[in-house]
Amino acid sequence: MTTNTLITCACALSLTAAAPPPDPAPARPTAPVPAVDAPPPVEAFAELPFIATPVVSPNGTQVAARLSSNGVQALAIVPLDSDKKIVRLGTGDNDLNSWSWVNDDWLVARIGATQGVRGDRWYLRRAFGIKADGSKIMPLGKDAAQNADDILWIASDGTPRVTIAMQTSIYSGDPNFWPVVREYDVSTGRAKTVQRPTDHVMDWYADGTGTVRLGIAYNDDRRGYRLLYRDRADQSFRTVAKARGTIASLGDVPAMFLAEPGKGIAFSDDDGFDALYDFDLATLKTGKKLFGKPGYDMGAIITDAAGGRAIGVRYIDTAARTHWFDPELARVQSEIDKAIAPRQARIVSWSRDFTTLMVLVGGADRPGTYYVYRPAIGVMKLFARTTSKLPITAYGPVSTIRYTARDGLEIPAVLTLPKGKPAKNLPLIVMPHGGPAARDDESWDWWTQFLASRGYAVLQPNYRGSIGYGTAFEEKGKGQWGLAMQDDLTDAVKWAAATGLADAKRVCIVGGSYGGYAALRAAQRDIGVYRCAVSFAGVSDMPAMLRYDGRFLNGNRSKDYLKAQAPDLKSVSPINHAADFSIPLLMIHGKADTVVPVDQSRDMADKLKAAGKPYRYVEQPKGDHHFSQAADRLQFLQELEAFLATNNPA
């Protein structure tokens, strides 16, 4: 589609004041303790998190977070040490994607929504400045587009300035399709252009001073990449690397720019696993390794407020961890860990001077609780519990196991057991994760803990192709959708039966997204392994998914990716083998799902009906891909519980 018409969707993507909750305090939701041995009701597990992603203001006096009340979510600004009222801002039918403090009085928030434009459906995004007292909401830019909210930099000097890369058109034939970079005063909405659009550059990166230093260009027709770089704002960008092809790589690129001139930090997998290295911006070469964890890839870098110093790095081994480069934060983390063991503590946010910390305390076997911790005082003060209906106690124990697939590859998996039951001869749920470029770890999971509370062991294999275990492990998944990746799941069942953990005659497979695809594939392919299958938002028709993904930004790259997932996409598509389905099947799909379209399940249901196969299909009218609504979570768990009680009772 090409046109020179710009779109303006500001009226549809908006923030509004929301009515305050009946109880002004965000903390301490409680629930009745259930009778001994009685599992919590399904409603308790279906509850949306009461609080999510709390972010401490620079001066440590306020917290911005997503709060949920009666199944409705809103952005809330909560005072920590004063009698000020909580400010709540609703987003209507829009998604609240993220929020950050700009200074002590202003925030910037990113929202998005799927909208109809000239007969097509587009997911459009934009940014807003928000005054912390709720008195003013300032749209940043006139236009919403697919990528109109890429926040590159936030000032650290107390001024209300941010730099945002934004499209101002959704149409690829328009020069405004490529993002312009503007510096905004979020308190007024006034802006100045700091980088004009450049053909094929969708991603810009800035250093700690706000200077745009790096751009990545991609030409979808040619499958060509270019890396653009400059040292200073008064220089022109130069092309420093090129690559072409469906599996092209630009090599190591800076993940952050250090305050020291000419220096940066980059991720590199030189030893097979992503680790952090010094990076020389003059030569574009890595130097000394700064930190790595044998057997695992590193995650996100944590920077100081000025953005020029790395103070830590996030990663996952068996659970989420933080390695602090800053010695004082490392000491504080160690003290907290000792105080709350065996629970896990994660410092999730902090004031500019680190005198006020937000700490999430919980574990894989219990919901989390947020505490405010001030190291100078040394006392953890309760801020809010993530759940109001589940008692904060230990639920099913969680551990990481490893088993060997049929070709000798070692597969890690997360095992959740029913609390208080011997790990012997249990009914088993195999639950493959979505993605498939994702992974499971030892963290609180409302799906698995619900199933464990009903008496099931739950095994979550990180099958080949899962991320986080190094380059070679991820690459073993290439071309193996529904093939060796599926074998890894059946080999997990064999392991569980051979160890005596599970009853091989009482196994069901349950999954969402790619995990839903794996459940459909298992129902069609793996005869005799499972008694039943459950697919949430699963892919059934790979060629149809290829056509759908090809409609969007960089659609040719998306099609290349899907084409590479199996030698023959039709042969691994369950929709083409309805006659082979051999077990009862439950499918649930949201009508508003923009990741996997609802037709993937509708069409599968039609094929199964024509073939006379046992299935139940449930469509959620407002459901999306992420269970954003409590009502959809509740319906899913109720359907899941009833289906398992009939087809694989515990």
List the one residue out of 209, 181, 212 whose CA is nearest residue 196: 181
pLDDT in tens, 178-234: 999 999 999 999 999 999 999 999 999 999 999 999 999 998 888 888 999 999 999
Query: Alpha-carbon distance 206 to 255, whole Å?
Result: 10
* Strand-pair partners of 227: 216, 241
Q: Cα 246 from chain centroid?
A: 25
pLDDT in tens, 537-550: 999 999 998 888 76
pLDDT in tens, 151-185: 999 999 999 999 999 998 888 778 888 999 999 99
What does pLDDT average to over the chain? 90
Q: What number is the average pLDDT over the span 598-613?
A: 98
Looking at the predicted structure, is the pLDDT value of residue 26 above 70?
no
- Token pair 């498939």 is found at 436
**Lowest-confidence region among 193-202, 249-258, 267-276:** 249-258
User: 398-647 falls under which CATH superfamily?
Assistant: Alpha/Beta hydrolase fold, catalytic domain (3.40.50.1820)
pLDDT in tens, 492-529: 999 999 999 999 999 999 999 999 999 999 999 999 99
Distance set, CA 195 to CA 168, 204, 215, 385, 591 (Å) = 14, 9, 11, 43, 39
pLDDT at residue 34, rounded to an integer:
41
Q: Are 170 and 124 in contact (CB under 8 A)?
A: yes
Query: Rounded to two decimals, what is the model's pTM?
Result: 0.91
For 585-645, give the DSSP string: EEEEEETT-SSS-THHHHHHHHHHHHHT--EEEEEETT--SS--SHHHHHHHHHHHHHHHH
Output the six-digit token pair for 204: 């810009």
Q: Are 33 and 170 in contact (CB under 8 A)?
A: no
Output the six-digit token pair for 327: 């010695």
pLDDT at residue 358, rounded to an integer:
97
Instruction: Give the three-state DSSP class for 311.
Output: strand
User: Could you tell me what percent of the chain has a pLDDT over 70?
Assistant: 93
Q: Is the peptide bond before 24 cis (omega within 30 degrees of 0)?
A: no
* Strand-pair partners of 589: 619
Instruction: Give the three-state DSSP class for 22.
Output: coil
Q: Is the peptide bond before 342 cis (omega within 30 degrees of 0)?
A: yes
Query: Alpha-carbon distance 369 to 614, whole Å?
Result: 43
pLDDT at residue 169, rounded to an integer:
86
Output the six-digit token pair for 616: 């139940």
* Rg of the chain over all Cα atoms, to the nearest angstrom: 25
Q: Are 50 and 68 in contact (CB under 8 A)?
A: yes
DSSP state of 134: S
Dihedral in degrees, nearest 10, Cα atoms 623, 626, 629, 635: 70
Q: What number is the average pLDDT over the span 31-53?
A: 79
Output the six-digit token pair for 32: 């009745």
